Amino acid sequence: MGTVTERILISDLLGQELHQRHRERESYNDLLNRLLAVDRELLAGFGAFCDTDRVETLRIARTEGPKQSTTRVTTMADTWADE
């Protein structure tokens, strides 16, 4: 892979943030690759459940999960109040 030397202007605040995240013996090119890799990893799964029944399973878990959790907490609280 070839390299291109290019300058970019960034704010002092951003420069300080990058400097804080910079590891010893790491080039700024490596730093930026590392930081961008995290974003790529987070986005890697988007669309994975498209056209599958998992979408419906996740929707149900998202809508019903909080209701079930509230019911469990209420039941525990009632049990403790009876003791």
pLDDT at 74 (0 to 100)? 84
Q: Say whether both 27 and 60 belong to one domain.
A: no
Report the amino acid identity of residue 44.
A
pLDDT at 83 (0 to 100)? 62
Give the pLDDT mean for 5-11: 88
Q: Say whether both 52 and 82 belong to one domain.
A: yes
pLDDT at 66 (0 to 100)? 82
Q: Is the pLDDT of residue 9 over 90?
A: yes
Q: Say whether both 63 and 39 belong to one domain.
A: no
**What pTM value is reported for the model?**
0.43
- Tens of pLDDT, residues 21-78: 999 999 989 998 888 887 666 655 666 667 777 777 777 888 887 888 888 888 888 8
Q: What is the maximum span of the chain, computed from C-alpha positions, in angstroms?
A: 72
Q: Say whether both 37 and 53 belong to one domain.
A: no
**Does an H or E element contain 20, and which?**
helix 12-21
Which stretches does DSSP call E strand in 1-83?
none
